[in-house]
Amino acid sequence: MSRLLLRAASLVAATAILTLAPASRADDAPAKPTKEQWQAVVDKAAGYLKSTQEDNGGWSTQRNIGVTGVVVTGLLQTGKSPDDEPAAKGLKYIEGLINPKAGHLAGADPKVGLQNYVTSVNVLALVEAKRDEKYKPVIGNAVQFLKKLQWDDSEGKQKDDDFFGGAGYDSKSRPDLSNTQFFLDALKAGGVASDDDAMKKAIVFVSRCQNFKSEHNDRPWAGKINDGSFIYSAAAGGQTKTSDDSMAPLSGYGSMTYAGVKSMIYCGVSKDDPRVKAAIDWLKKNYTTESNAGMPPQLGGRGLYYYYHTMAKTLDLLGEDTFTDDKGIKHDWRADITAALAKRQKPDGSWTNGTDRWLEGDPNLVTGYALMALSHCKPK
């Protein structure tokens, strides 16, 4: 892309930043981004990613081999063709991670970490490529591998165990909701039905990650906060990320609560179910695009871009163009998320989280997350 075109794109994106400010009062109409403004933000990001792609076709491969799957998914979901050079090279890199013997998409190294995350995001990328003849068997094998990672009676975990139904980083890792939501994203994208045994098992774990005492969650801590929010993990007595103090209350937060809602719907739970209603009530009280909702102010930047893409995907799944908060204000969530991302985009087209937690200091990963979020926010 020429300097002139880059400058033009920058001017359009800057205009978007000024005109896409979300509503702040009940009588303000939410800003409506145009398709051109949305596209300018997306194109700048794609231009940046083209400039940072490695010779092997991947991105940030020395940090984590899963970054490429996030980037390729983001590029394809926002309209790039799988034949476009960066996407094509990225898909070729992912093909190199196919492990025919194990079935996963995390390479040949038996010691590679994050097999669940890496395989799951690579499944999403291959599904988005829409090349069934080439990738369908690979995706099918990956789905079967992921199912084997799920904690169940085959690992000696019965339904009353707090590991049951969840997925962790690999077959021996404690399960958590973050890993489980990516696991479910991959299964859903791979064509697994909501009544599949893996989904039925997953909803047991997901329900236990909610601060909501019910027949589905009898954990000792479930009713202590009881506000409908979701925590990071129900396993081993429960864990949250709203504090670094392991003895702190198990308060929920935005990225996991959106993940919980999405996961429940994938598993066939109705939007009218008390669990989903309780979670949405919490989200209504905590609607924001300025921080990872529910986090203390000093920690609000943690996982912010992960939050954006999970928020956007979940609200899109709910099927409403606006989200009404607890004050009765209707938010054009697509405009709000686009505005939040536009004002944070760097001049070179990338995003980076100044709170470098969970790899969000890596601009390739974060720019991939941003594109995944924007794919659900394109103006209609």
Cβ atoms of residues 133 and 117 within 8 Å = no
**Any residues with CB less than 8 A from the CB of 171 and at least 6 apart, and which?**
115, 148, 149, 155
**Residue 380: predicted pLDDT:** 85
Tokens of 14: 């800057």
Cβ atoms of residues 232 and 181 within 8 Å = no
**Residue 247: predicted pLDDT:** 59
Tokens of 204: 């047991």
Radius of gyration of the chain (CA): 20
**How far is C-alpha 279 from the geometric centre of its chain's CA atoms?**
17
**How far is C-alpha 360 from the geometric centre of its chain's CA atoms?**
13
Cβ atoms of residues 253 and 229 within 8 Å = yes
Cβ atoms of residues 15 and 338 within 8 Å = no
Helix (H) or strand (E) holding 331: strand 330-331
Nearest by Cα to 379 from 334, 315, 326, 349: 334
Rounded distance, CA 142 to CA 119, Å? 7
Rounded distance, CA 225 to CA 189, Å? 34
Cβ atoms of residues 209 and 174 within 8 Å = no
Cβ atoms of residues 128 and 72 within 8 Å = yes
Q: Whole-model pTM above 0.85? A: yes
Q: What is the mean pLDDT of each run of 10 residues along the chain (380 residues)?
A: 40 44 46 88 98 98 96 98 98 98 92 91 98 96 97 91 93 92 98 98 97 91 91 85 73 96 98 98 98 90 95 98 97 97 97 90 98 96
**Residue 77: predicted pLDDT:** 98
- CATH among 1.10.3720.10, 3.30.70.580, 1.50.10.20, 2.40.160.100 for 46-320+352-373: 1.50.10.20
**Residue 244: predicted pLDDT:** 72
